[in-house]
Structure formats: C-alpha cells, structure tokens
C-alpha cells in the first residue's frame, strides 16, 4: 500500500494531466459498455413479440438515481419500438449508426487517455531521474567507495523504467478498471441479480491466482534488477580499463565473466517475464471456465422457466456479452497488480538511493567565511572508515600564504587529511578551523569556494577546452580563461590545436597528453583563484619534460597562496614551509627539508631512496 501511495504521489504532482487521463478513461468505459448495450432493446423488439407490446407504452420517470437508468433503458426501447414498427430497416440503420458512434467515441477517449498518459509517465520518469542524479551529486565520497557506479546507473535507467510502467498500471488499477467493473456489474444486476450473484461467487479464484503470482514476481524482479546493476558495473569497469585488458590479453577472461553475469540476468528477467505473463492466460482460462458455468446456470434458468419474467433469451445473450467484457477489466487489474508488484522492487531500490544518509550536513544558519587572515588548523583530528582507524590525533596548522607538505607511505592518511578540508568527509573527532571558525559551522558551498584542487588524476569532461577551464565559473570571460591558461603553461599547446579554445578534448580529455591534461587542471584552479590550494600528487604520473612544465605552472599557482601539498617525489616539496611525515595515520616528524634531513629519521631515509642527499 505504501508503494502505491508513492506512485500516486509521483503522478498527481501533475494533477491536471492526471485528471485528464482519468476523465478519458471514465468516458472510455462508459462508451465501451454502450457499444454493446445498445443492441439489446432492438434484439428484444425483433425476436420477442410479447416484449414489443410491453414497450409500446411510453414509460414514466418516477424519480431517483436508480430509476433514471431504468427509465432511460425503457424510453430507448419505446423509441426503438416506434421506429421498428414504422421502418424496421431504418431502426436497424439507426442502431448500427449509434453503435458505430459509440465505438468511435470509445476509441477517441481511449486514445485521449493514452495521449495524456504518455506525457504524464515521461514527466514522472524525468522527475525521478532528476532526483536520483541530484542525490548522486549530493552523496558523500564514501558512498562511491562502497557502491558500484554501474548499480547507480541501473537504478537511473531500468528501475526508473519500471516506475514508468507502474504509473500507467496505477491509473488503470484505481481509476479505470474498478469503474468498469462497477458499471458492468450494475447492468448485470439490473438484468438478473440471481445470475450475477452466481457469477461473482466464481471470481475470487482469479484473485487468488493474482496474489500468488504477484508475490513471487516481486522477489524475482528485485533479483533481476540487482543483477542488472552488476552487469552495468562490469560494463563501466571494462570500458574504463580497456587499455589494461588489451595489454594483458585478458579479453577472453573479461568476456567470459561478463557472459556469465549477463546469462544470470537473462535467466532472472526471463523468469520474471514468464511469471508476469502467466497471469493473463491463467485469468483467461479461469474466465472461460466461469463463462461456461454461467452459460450452464443461466441456460438452465431459462429452460426450467421458459415463461419467466426474470431473464429473457435476448437479455441472456446480452448478459453473456457484457459479462465477457467484465472479465477484461478484471484481467486488466491482474496485469496492473503484476506490474505494480514488479515495480515495487524497483521502487525499493530507488528509495534506497533517495533515502541514503548524505552524512555531510549543513548547519541551519551557516557562518559566512571571511577572507583567510591567519591559518587553517587541524585540531586533534581522528577519522576512520568503518572500524579501520585512518587518522589518529592529527594536529597542525597551515599559516596564510605558507605551504605545508604531507609525505608518507601509501595508506598513511595523506589524501584523507586533504579530503577533510573541503568536507568530502566529515571529521569524526577533533575539528578543522578556518581562522578559528569550525568548518562544520560554515556553508558547504561557501567553504568550497575558498579551495582549489589539482589532483593526480586530471578530471576533465567531454567538452571544449574553454568549458573545461571555466568549469563551475560560467561567467568567466575569454580574457580571463586565456590568462589562466598562460599562467598554467597551457596557452601554447591550446593555440596549436585546430579550433583553439573551442577544441573538444574527448571523454576524460583523452585527446590530450598527460602533461597537457594536468596543465588544463591547473588552469582551471588558476581561474577559480582560491585562497587555499590542495595539490594531491599533481606531478607523480608525468614524464620529466611534462613534470618541469607542470611544476613551473604549479609554482606560479602557489605564489602567495595557502597550500596543502601531497607528494611522493620529495624533490617537488623541498621548499615547503613545513613538511609533515605520516605513518599509519599518525604524525611522526615535521619540519623544513633541512631540519628533517638533519634529524636522520623517516624523511631522511625516504630522501636517500629517491637520491636526495641534501
């Protein structure tokens, strides 16, 4: 029930469109019934002479809602009697035209429902995908270390697609099929309460079948969607690592692994489709059995009481026709329930994302950070991933305009220290202050405006050079972009490209060399002009010539900035104002290059290994 309320909430966000869908469906149901019921009075006149005498008298409306329908039916029979007496062929033509108009209007309103429904369903899909994408941007980095990106993509694509189907099923399940059932039953009860009661007694068997199949379908659908997420993840990983796969001749291994997981997905989805599609033939079979029972029982009533007034032969034929139409909305409800059960698994997976704790919260009334005047300070900071301690009582400061470098073995906590400053993760113990203001008390966007980052991996986007340098700064002028590129030693190679700053650099910047990509990243940081700079092993993956150009660009960038530098190549941080040596999440040494070399400890040994002797 909760899942159904959520689907209704998605749909009725667009009340006007939803009500148009409902109105068209209601009119479709009414004209669908009329298209069959219009034949009954004429059949009575043609084949039941005694009934023809009865309808020769004009009926009188006695008032009341129920009497209105009785009066309408009798008055139509009266009109048809007059027409058939005067011109039987003309009456037949009138009936045929009336039925044709009813069929035409039925299909007009049916298409109208589909017309507005298509707009509604895609609007819901768009909103859900927008919400998921926005949530994915707001989730902390820790989420992406625990979850596969491919699974998130699967939820945005195939799971959202199931909600699209559910929107249609919900509108039909609540606003079309029940109305169709009520109207059909009302007419059947009007004709023969006894035969209608007998018919209703047989229908719960269909409901039982729907229930059993629906529960089983939901379980299988959830397994299939989870497997689809795994398949997406494998695709994303494979395309991202295609160079290594080819280099190690691992195509066969990767292909076999993918085929195995894809086969599992195929089997699960096939199983889900079979379960979903089983409800329709089962319902049709049960419906046929019900129809046979009704024909036997109704035929027995007429044969046992040929002169009875309860049900004429013509009405019995009409009863069978209308009851056959009653089975259609019942089967439609079965399909809708099956689709809703299938979509429930997808809905649960979408809600898992939308309800995921963002962990990085902003205070209700954040402090506006002023221009940095004194220092950024880490005060007894501790941090852990799960149960693993990563940082233990880290304390140091970065005075304004100074450079602090972090060195140590892989896994010592260097990158974590850097990630805590822009609040990619939140400090669990201790605090980080900005001129004495705890960064948790500042607005997240305001804090990150103060910080520029150049990382080891140059993160660029499939866009032009101009758009990549001005990323997040859409108001930047061409003059500012060119100036930033010159400071980053990037202007020359950009000018040599066919379209200059309008050149597209491809996915992840794959049309540029490693050094060119890194200088683009530096140009982006220069344009942002942040007071605080984080450099995360910015030259570690470059050749000697590229490193020289990038290092020169970094030196230009770091002038008069408060900088936190992570480095494996110690030669790049010899001039740092303070070098902090980390090991297993703790500070072991700190000081200038000369001080640490004279100390003869960890830093001195690392320097010797890299050929630095003084």
Section 406-434 average pLDDT: 88
Q: What is the pLDDT of residues 371-394, one digit of tens each?
A: 888 999 999 999 987 777 889 999
Residue 426 near residue 359 (C-beta atoms within 8 A): yes
Sign of CA dihedral 209, 210, 216, 221: positive
Co-location of 142 and 285 in the same domain: yes
Section 11-31 average pLDDT: 85
* Structure tokens, 231: 């398949």
Contacts of 585 (CB under 8 A, 6+ apart): 389, 390, 391, 392, 394, 412, 413
Co-location of 330 and 392 in the same domain: no
Q: Predicted confidence band at 72 (pLDDT cuts at 50, 70, 90)?
A: low
Read off the pTM. 0.68
Residue 574 inside a domain? The answer is no
Among 547, 415, 523, 553, CA closest to 460: 523
Q: Give me the number of domains the chain comprises.
A: 2
Q: Predicted confidence band at 272 (pLDDT cuts at 50, 70, 90)?
A: confident
Co-location of 310 and 396 in the same domain: no
Q: Look up the domain containing 419 and give its range.
A: 372-450+579-614
Residue 55 has pLDDT above 50, yes or no: no
Co-location of 377 and 325 in the same domain: no
Read off the CATH number of the domain in which 278 is found: 1.20.1560.10
Residue 355 near residue 549 (C-beta atoms within 8 A): no
Q: Predicted confidence band at 75 (pLDDT cuts at 50, 70, 90)?
A: low
Q: What is the pLDDT of residues 110-147, one digit of tens each?
A: 888 888 888 888 888 888 888 888 888 877 777 776 55
Co-location of 20 and 89 in the same domain: yes
Distance CA 394, CA 383 (A): 9
Q: Predicted confidence band at 533 (pLDDT cuts at 50, 70, 90)?
A: confident
* Structure tokens, 179: 């109305």
**DSSP label of 209:** H
Q: What is the pLDDT of residues 423-441, one digit of tens each?
A: 888 888 999 999 999 999 9
Co-location of 321 and 279 in the same domain: yes
Residue 29 near residue 121 (C-beta atoms within 8 A): no
Residue 501 inside a domain? The answer is no
* Structure tokens, 77: 């029979």
Residue 395 inside a domain? The answer is yes
Maximum C-alpha span of the chain: 123
β-bridge mates for residue 390, sequence order: none
Read off the CATH number of the domain in which 589 is found: 3.40.50.300
Co-location of 140 and 221 in the same domain: yes
Q: How far apart are the two ends of the chain, measured CA to CA in Å?
A: 73
Co-location of 309 and 425 in the same domain: no
Distance CA 300, CA 295 (A): 8
**The 3-state secondary structure of 164-186, one letter per residue:** HHHHHHHHHHHHCHHHHHHHHHH
């Amino acid at each position: 029930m909760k899942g159904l309320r959520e689907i209704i909430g998605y749909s009725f966000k667009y009340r006007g469109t939803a009500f148009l869908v409902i109105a068209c469906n209601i009119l479709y149901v009414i004209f669908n019934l009329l298209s069959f019921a219009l034949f009954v009075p004429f059949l009575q006149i043609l084949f039941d002479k005694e009934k023809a005498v009865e309808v020769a008298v004009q009926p009188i409306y006695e008032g009341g809602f129920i009497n209105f329908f009785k009066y309408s039916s009798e008055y139509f029979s009266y009109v048809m009697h007059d027409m058939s007496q005067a011109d039987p062929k003309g009456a037949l033509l009138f009936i045929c035209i009336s039925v044709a108009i009813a069929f035409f209007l039925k299909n007009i309103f049916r298409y109208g429902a589909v017309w507005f429904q298509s707009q509604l369903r895609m609007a819901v899909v768009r909103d859900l995908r927008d919400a998921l994408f926005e949530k994915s941007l707001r989730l902390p980095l820790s989420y992406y270390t625990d979850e596969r990106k491919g699974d998130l993509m699967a939820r945005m694509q195939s799971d959202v697609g199931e909600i699209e189907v559910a929107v249609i099923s919900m509108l039909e399940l609540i606003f079309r099929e029940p109305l169709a059932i009520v109207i059909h039953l009302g007419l059947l009860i009007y004709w023969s309460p006894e035969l209608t009661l007998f018919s209703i007694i047989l229908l719960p068997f269909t409901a039982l079948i729907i229930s059993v199949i629906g529960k089983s379908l939901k379980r299988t659908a959830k397994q299939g969607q989870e497997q689809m997420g795994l398949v997406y993840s494998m695709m994303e990983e494979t395309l991202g690592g295609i160079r290594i796969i080819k280099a190690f001749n691992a195509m066969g291994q990767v292909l076999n692994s993918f085929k195995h997981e894809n086969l599992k997905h195929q089997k699960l989805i096939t199983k889900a489709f079979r379960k979903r599609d089983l409800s329709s033939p089962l319902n049709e079979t049960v419906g046929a059995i019900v129809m046979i029972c009704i024909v036997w029982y109704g035929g027995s009533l007429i044969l046992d009481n040929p002169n009875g007034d309860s049900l004429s032969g013509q009405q019995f034929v009409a009863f069978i026709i209308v009851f056959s139409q009653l089975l259609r909305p019942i089967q439609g409800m079965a399909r809708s329930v099956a689709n809703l059960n299938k979509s429930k698994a997808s809905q649960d997976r979408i809600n898992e994302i939308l309800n995921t704790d963002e962990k990085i919260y902003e205070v209700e009334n954040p402090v506006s950070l002023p221009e940095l005047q004194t220092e950024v300070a880490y005060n007894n900071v501790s941090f852990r991933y799960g149960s693993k301690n990563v940082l233990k009582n880290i304390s140091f400061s970065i005075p304004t305009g100074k450079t602090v470098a972090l060195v140590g073995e892989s896994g010592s906590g260097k990158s974590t220290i850097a990630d805590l400053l822009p609040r990619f993760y939140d400090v669990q113990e201790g605090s980080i202050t900005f001129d004495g203001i705890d960064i948790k008390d500042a607005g997240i966007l305001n804090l990150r405006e103060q910080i520029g980052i150049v990382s080891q991996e140059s993160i660029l986007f499939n866009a032009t050079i101009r758009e990549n340098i001005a990323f997040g700064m859409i108001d930047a002028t061409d003059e500012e972009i060119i100036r930033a590129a010159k400071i980053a030693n990037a202007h020359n190679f950009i000018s040599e490209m066919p379209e200059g700053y309008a050149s597209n650099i491809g996915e992840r910047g794959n049309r540029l060399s490693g050094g060119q990509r890194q200088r683009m990243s530096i140009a982006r940081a220069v344009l942002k002009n942040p007071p605080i700079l984080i450099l995360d092993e910015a030259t570690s993956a470059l050749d000697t010539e590229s490193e020289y150009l990038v290092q020169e660009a970094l030196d230009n960038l770091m002038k008069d900035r408060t900088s936190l530098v992570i480095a494996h190549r110690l030669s790049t941080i010899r001039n740092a104002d303070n070098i902090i040596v980390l090991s297993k999440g703790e500070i072991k040494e700190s000081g200038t290059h000369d001080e640490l070399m004279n100390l003869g400890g960890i830093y001195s040994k690392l320097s010797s290994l890299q050929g630095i002797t003084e």
